[in-house]
A and B are shown apart, each in its own frame.
Chain A
C-alpha cells in the first residue's frame, strides 16, 4: 500500500491506495472527481487526460504513487471562479461535443496543445496533435474548429503564460 499526497485543482490531497492504483483510479475513486473518464485499457483513447505539473498526461498510464508531490489539474479545475476556460467555451460554442464522454480529456489535451503552440495553430497541426484522443460522435470536425477558435482568441499569451 502507498500513501500519496498531491495538489489537485489547487487543493492538497492525500490518500492511501494499493501500489498498483493508477492515477485515474485515484482521481475518480479516492477523490470522487468523476469528470476524468476511462474509455480504454491501452492508453489510446485519451478520455483520461489531465495535467500533471502543467503537461497533458494520460492518467491511466501513470501510477498514483508516481504523481506523489505533483500538481494535478483535472477538468473540474479548469474553469476559474465560475468563468469557463476559453477552450471550454469554444467547445460549447462550436458544438465540439455530443455524448460528452471524451470531452474532458479532449479539452485538457486541447489546452495543452494551445499552451505549446500558442496562436500558431493550423488545422493540420491540430488534427495531428489530437492523435491520442478518440471521439466517436463528432467526426472531430467541430472539435478542430473549437480548438482553432480558442487558440486564436487566446493568442500567443497562452504560450507565453505556459513558458
Chain B
C-alpha cells in the first residue's frame, strides 16, 4: 500500500469545494431565462378532483403558466411505474394502480401533486399556487396496512381489490410448519418496523430546460442514478427521446435511497419547460419533502422461531404486511420481497424458512428503499427473536447465536441467497471484547447504585450488497440489469480520467476511485479525475444504492484498468524493445523487470497519442471501457453491541456505549468506511429511539411533517462510536470488496431495543423507544 493506494487513510479530494462553499447542488444552478415552479398539492389524503379553477391565479403577477393533469395527458406523458414485477403465490402479476405525475381524477395522499405553477420568482409561484382553487369531494381514508386489508376498507385503486398489491411467499411452508410442530421451544413475536422519512439534508430539486432550437432537453436533478432517470423519462414517461435528453446530477446532498426514484416533479418540470417555453426550476421545501419523498420500512410481522432441545434453530416462519403507500414507487415491490425475505436466514443455519408477504395500498406517501431497504426489516426480526429466545431459554444471547452460526462457506440458505464467505465468530468476539462484555454486570451494578437501569444488547447482522447479477435479478422480476460501467481515459500527458456510472452523493468516490488508479499505476491521485453524474459524459450506468459502488462500480473500473494496463505495456515494451510480458508498472514508470530500462508513465501516454512509434497494428490513443456484471451478491456481516442507561423516572434512554465490528471484505479507504458506519448507526439509532412517522388515521394528515415534529438525531442524542473491522475476502469480485453503506442502519436498531428491553425487564417495546414508551414499559413490568 502506498500513501495514496488501496488501504490508505487519504483525506477526501472533494472536500475542498464543500468546506469552502463551492459545492454545486441542483438548486445552485442558474440558467438564462430561468423561471420558478411551485406545485399545487392535495390537502386531502383521498378525494375526487371535481374542478381546478386557475382564473384568479392566472392573473397574478409574474405567472407564466399553470399546468395540470389534463394537459399532461394531452401530451401523452406516461404513468409512473414500478420497475420490478412481483407475482403473487397464485401466479398472478402484482396489481399496480395508475400513478399520474399530476393527479387527474383522484388524489390518494396528502401532497399528491395536482398542478404546477410557473412564475418569474419563487415567491410569485407560491402566491399564485395558493390562488388556484381545486374543488374536491373527500373520500374515506385508510393509513395503516393492516386496516387497509380489512373488508369494507376504503379502496384506493380499482386494480387492487381490498388494496392488496400482491400476496407473495418464499421458502418451504410445510417443512417450516412441521419444524414448529415438532419443536422443543417456539418463540413467537409480533413486530412492527416503524415507518421512516429518509431526510437527506439537501431537499429534492429539479431544473428542466427545453431547447427549442435543438429540440433538446436537459434535466438537472438530485438523483442517485441519472442514467436510470434518463432511461425511464424516455422509455416510459415519454417526456423526451433518450438521444435528446441530458440528465445531470451534480453534487447531491445525500440520498439514502430516497433519490433513486424518478418523482412526479422531475417529469413535470422537464415537460413544463417545453410547454411554457422557459427553463423551469423547482426546489422543494422540507415539509414538501416529508410529504413527497418516498418513505421507508412500515412492516407489521408475526414470527415464530422453532428450536430443538439442544437450542438449535429448526424453523423460522414469518408473516409480513408491508405498507407501500398510495402508489407503487420505482423499486417498492422488491424491498419487502427479494431484498427482505432472502435475508431471513441471518447468520444462522436454519433448515426451514417460510415467509409470506402481503403488500398494501394506503393513503400515505409511497414507500420504497431507505438505507438498507428490506434488510434492516429482516435483521430486526431475527435479532429481536434471537435475543428474546435466549431470555426464554435461559442461555446467554451470545451462546445462542454461536450455537447456530453458519461456519462453512459457501452456504446455501433456504431463501435463495448463497453466502460466499464470512466469519461470524470473529466479529462477535471482536465486538464483545471492544465493549468489555464480561465487565457488564459490574457496570450494571454501578448504574443501579446511581438509580439508573443499565442494559446491553447484541445484534449480529448479515446483508446482501453489491446488487446484483443482472440475470439473477432479471429472473426475479427486475426491469433492469444491475451491472456497472466504467471508462478510463489516459490523456496524452498521462493524466487520467475515470468515467463511472456510479454516483457519489456523500460516499467520496472521487477519492476512493482515485486511490484505486493511483495504486495500479503509481501516479499521484491529483492526476486522476473522476467523472460522474452526467449522461452526456458517461454513456450509461446504474447508479449508487445498495452499497454497489465499491463491489460493482469499482470492479468495472478494475476491468477497464486491466485493458489500459495491457495496452500501456504493449506500447512501453515496443519503446524499450522488450517483451510486453516482462514489463511491470511501478511508481509511475513502466519498467523491464530485472533491468534498468524504464519509460515514465507520461512518456508512454504521449507515445500512444503521437503514434509515431507504436507496435505494428496497434491503434493510437489510450482509452478503454468496461461493463462489469457481478457473479453474486456480496455479504457484509458483523456484530453490533449497544449499552444503554434508562432513567426510571423519565424513561429517557441514554446510549452510553456502542461498538461495531464489521466484515466489509477489502477496504480501500478506512476513514471513509468508518464514516459510513457512523452515519448508518446514527440512522439506526434514530429509528430505534427517535424517529416516528405519524399519520392521523381519520384524515390521513401527516402529523410529523417538519423538524419540529419528526425527531432527527442530533449530536447530543448520540455517543461517539467504537468501530472496528474484521476481514474475510469476498471471492465474488476482483477487489474482494463487500460494501459498507448500509450496515450501520441494518445492524443497529435491534442492538438498541435488545439493550433497552434488557435494562427495563420488559420485552414489549415498540420503535421508536421514546421516553414515554420506555417509561410505560418499565412501569408495566414492575
A residues neighboring B (CB under 8 Å): 18, 20, 28, 32-42, 44-45, 47, 74-76, 78-79, 84, 88, 91-93, 95, 97-104, 107, 123-124, 126-128, 130-131, 133-145
Which of A38, A75, A93, A98 is B675 in contact with, Cβ under 8 Å? A98
A92-B16 in contact (CB<8A): yes
Give A34 to B30 CA distance when docked, in angstroms.
11
Which of A35, A39, A42 is B21 in contact with, Cβ under 8 Å? A35
Chain A residue numbers with a CB within 8 Å of B25 are 34, 37, 101
With an 8 A cutoff between CB atoms, is B707 at the interface?
A: yes
A98-B507 in contact (CB<8A): yes
Give A127 to B680 CA distance when docked, in angstroms.
18
B712-A18 in contact (CB<8A): no
Give A36 to B25 CA distance when docked, in angstroms.
11
Given the known interface contacts A42-B706, A134-B201, the answer about A103 and B679 at a Cβ–Cβ threshold of 8 Å is no
A34-B28 in contact (CB<8A): yes
Given the known interface contacts A134-B707, A144-B720, the answer about A102 and B201 at a Cβ–Cβ threshold of 8 Å is yes
Among A41, A42, A102, A137, chain B packs the most CB atoms within 10 A around the CB of: A137
Which of A47, A98, A127 is B679 in contact with, Cβ under 8 Å? A98
With an 8 A cutoff between CB atoms, is B12 at the interface?
A: yes
Beta-carbon nearest neighbor of B744 in chain A? A139
Give A135 to B682 CA distance when docked, in angstroms.
10
Top 6 nearest A-B pairs (CB, nearest first) are A35-B21, A101-B253, A100-B18, A139-B682, A99-B506, A44-B707
With an 8 A cutoff between CB atoms, is B481 at the interface?
A: no
Given the known interface contacts A136-B679, A138-B675, the answer about A95 and B721 at a Cβ–Cβ threshold of 8 Å is no
With an 8 A cutoff between CB atoms, is B505 at the interface?
A: yes
B200-A141 in contact (CB<8A): no
Chain A residue numbers with a CB within 8 Å of B712 are 44, 134, 136
A88-B20 in contact (CB<8A): yes
Give A11 to B128 CA distance when docked, in angstroms.
36
Give A84 to B16 CA distance when docked, in angstroms.
9
Beta-carbon nearest neighbor of B284 in chain A? A41
Chain B residue numbers with a CB within 8 Å of A97 are 15, 18-19
Which of A84, A88, A100, A141 is B506 in contact with, Cβ under 8 Å? A100
Q: How large is the interface on B (under 10, 10 to 19, 20 to 34, 35 or more residues)?
A: 35 or more
B715-A76 in contact (CB<8A): no
Beta-carbon nearest neighbor of B720 in chain A? A141
With an 8 A cutoff between CB atoms, is B566 at the interface?
A: no
Chain A residue numbers with a CB within 8 Å of B18 are 97, 100, 103-104
B675-A99 in contact (CB<8A): no
- Nearest Cβ in chain A — how far from B296, in angstroms? 13
A130-B716 in contact (CB<8A): yes
Beta-carbon nearest neighbor of B254 in chain A? A99
Give A159 to B687 CA distance when docked, in angstroms.
38
Give A79 to B507 CA distance when docked, in angstroms.
25
A45-B716 in contact (CB<8A): no
With an 8 A cutoff between CB atoms, is B199 at the interface?
A: yes
With an 8 A cutoff between CB atoms, is B714 at the interface?
A: yes
Beta-carbon nearest neighbor of A75 in chain B? B21
B679-A20 in contact (CB<8A): no
A140-B718 in contact (CB<8A): yes
Chain A residue numbers with a CB within 8 Å of B675 are 95, 98, 137-138, 141-142
With an 8 A cutoff between CB atoms, is B548 at the interface?
A: no
Given the known interface contacts A40-B707, A41-B706, the answer about A135 and B678 at a Cβ–Cβ threshold of 8 Å is no
Chain B residue numbers with a CB within 8 Å of A100 are 14-15, 17-19, 23, 251, 253, 506
Give A41 to B706 CA distance when docked, in angstroms.
8
Which of B19, B286, B716 is A131 in contact with, Cβ under 8 Å? B716
Given the known interface contacts A76-B21, A100-B23, A130-B714, the answer about A42 and B707 at a Cβ–Cβ threshold of 8 Å is yes
A137-B20 in contact (CB<8A): no
B678-A39 in contact (CB<8A): no
Chain B residue numbers with a CB within 8 Å of A33 are 21
Chain A residue numbers with a CB within 8 Å of B200 are 99, 101, 136
Chain B residue numbers with a CB within 8 Å of A141 are 675, 678, 682, 718, 720-721
With an 8 A cutoff between CB atoms, is B203 at the interface?
A: yes
Given the known interface contacts A95-B675, A128-B716, A134-B714, the answer about A101 and B682 at a Cβ–Cβ threshold of 8 Å is no
Chain B residue numbers with a CB within 8 Å of A44 are 706-708, 712
With an 8 A cutoff between CB atoms, is B202 at the interface?
A: yes
Q: List 16 A-B contacts (CB under 8 A).
A: A32-B30, A35-B21, A37-B202, A41-B285, A44-B708, A76-B22, A98-B254, A101-B202, A103-B23, A104-B21, A107-B19, A126-B715, A127-B715, A136-B200, A136-B712, A141-B720
Give A137 to B718 CA distance when docked, in angstroms.
13
Chain B residue numbers with a CB within 8 Å of A34 are 21, 24-25, 27-28
With an 8 A cutoff between CB atoms, is B256 at the interface?
A: yes
Chain B residue numbers with a CB within 8 Å of A74 are 21
B19-A88 in contact (CB<8A): yes
With an 8 A cutoff between CB atoms, is B66 at the interface?
A: no
B201-A101 in contact (CB<8A): yes
Among B30, B285, B707, chain A packs the most CB atoms within 10 A around the CB of: B707
